[in-house]
Amino acid sequence: MIWLAVSASCGSARKATSGHPTSQGQTTASISHTQWERQLADIASSYGTWERMRLPVKVDIQSPKNISVSGNAVMVRNKCIHISLRTFGIEIGWLYLTADSVTVVDKYHKQYVSEGIASFLANAPLTIANVQDLLLGRMFDIGQSTSLTSAQVSRGEADCQNSLYCFIPRIDGSSPFSCGFSFIPSASELSPFAIANAVIGGAARPVNVSYGPTLDTPSGPMASECTLAFDTDKSHLEAALRWNFSKARWNNDVQIPAMKVAGYTRISLNQIMSLIQKL
């Protein structure tokens, strides 16, 4: 099933670029399966390590309601993600994700959601590192605490037939959940291929992610933006996160913001879409 979803994303990327030059004005010829595996290993080798990062982010929610806000994201590798949202310079809410729970706070209405991480991620056994890689446009396998390594590429399934460039990691073959990635040709100095889409499969409702151009950072290549799309019981959620790496801070220069919910009303996860509607 994951191949169907990844192939669909590959097809979308192919349709968008077929017969046209890349964004840098060059075209890419077809390559062999062995060459594609080598390219994937090179991409994985380019992933630098990091411990902490803080950077501005613009969040454009496109569904269930059009909302555009700015903010800051703080991430501690494989430990937590904190995203603060602001409008007119005033913090209106924040999201805090850890290995155990997720908390979403609406400061304007003084409401918050706090649930176990499993229910928030549709019971997919994603680590915080997985979620971070998903947001930053890096290959990973579900349940792992690091990005995919070049040595692990050979244990996955690579496909480059008919100008479709796809890859599915297979580190843990026993898991019912899996992820896959599709790529498009690029004339960037970073790599001749750039990540275009990611799919998380195995749950009743798959998560689809598309990416903007890849940028070079002090910790290696990362996607400049990502758009997540998935369905809940009652609605469709789609949101784009646009990272500003030019103003990013790294490692020892990053502190976790203070978080307080005292005096706020706790609501259920099923009401989270209503919370978004009120923002």
- Tell me the average pLDDT of the chain: 83
Tens digits of per-residue pLDDT, 63-113?
A: 877 889 999 999 999 999 999 999 888 999 999 999 999 998 988 889 998
pLDDT bucket at 207, cuts 50 / 70 / 90: confident
Query: Can you give the pLDDT at residue 192?
Result: 87
Is it the case that residue 262 has pLDDT exceeding 60? yes
Instruction: Count CA atoms within 13 Å of residue 163 on its CB side.
Output: 16
Query: Can you give the pLDDT at residue 26?
Result: 39
Is it the case that residue 217 has pLDDT exceeding 90? yes
Cβ-Cβ contacts under 8 Å for 89 (sequence gap 6 or more): none
Find the mean pLDDT for residues 200-224: 88
Domain boundaries, the chain: 2-67+133-278
Cis peptide before 56 (omega within 30 of 0): no
CA distance 112 to 124: 23
Is it the case that residue 24 has pLDDT exceeding 50? no
- pTM, 2 dp: 0.86
Which region among 8-22, 118-132, 159-173, 245-259 has the lowest average model confidence (pLDDT)? 8-22
Is it the case that residue 121 has pLDDT exceeding 90? no
Is it the case that residue 55 has pLDDT exceeding 90? yes
Query: Can you give the pLDDT at residue 171?
Result: 55
CA distance 278 to 106: 9
What one-character DSSP code corresponds to residue 50?
Answer: -
